[in-house]
Amino acid sequence: MIVWPEIMLGLRSSRGYATNDLLSAAADWKAVFLDELKADGDTTGYSTGVLANLLSARTGKWTLITTNLTLGHIERFDARIASRMIRAGSRFVQMQGKRYCER
């Protein structure tokens, strides 16, 4: 499982090389679980570029993504990401429920 905010923190720190190696390897894994997509608070677009590249490399492979955003919100900040999330027969499944802390 790749926790997106932690990956982005790693890329921006001295651990960047190891994190970059992890993302390169993840492009070839049979399945990837990306948790908390876009929860990194990036305002520069760097995170979006990294994500677009990863999703492009994973076309046709199992990639499960969790996020608090709707597909419409994702499309507003970057149409490339939204497009990559639904192309090649992929599906965006929106679920609603109580936040974990409200249970």
Confidence bin at 22 (pLDDT 50/70/90): confident
Residue 99 domain flag:
no
Residue 68 in tokens:
């608090």
What is the torsion angle, in degrees rounded to the nearest 10, for the CA atoms of residue 27, residue 74, residue 19 and residue 13?
160
CA distance readout (Å), 4 to 46, 64, 73: 13, 12, 17
The number of distinct structural domains making up the chain is 1
The pTM for the full model equals 0.77
Residue 47 in tokens:
């995170």
Model confidence over 45-91: pLDDT tens digits?
888 888 899 999 998 899 999 888 889 988 988 899 999 888 888 88
Range of the domain at 10: 2-92
Are 52 and 80 in contact by the 8 Å Cβ rule? The answer is yes
Residue 16 domain flag:
yes
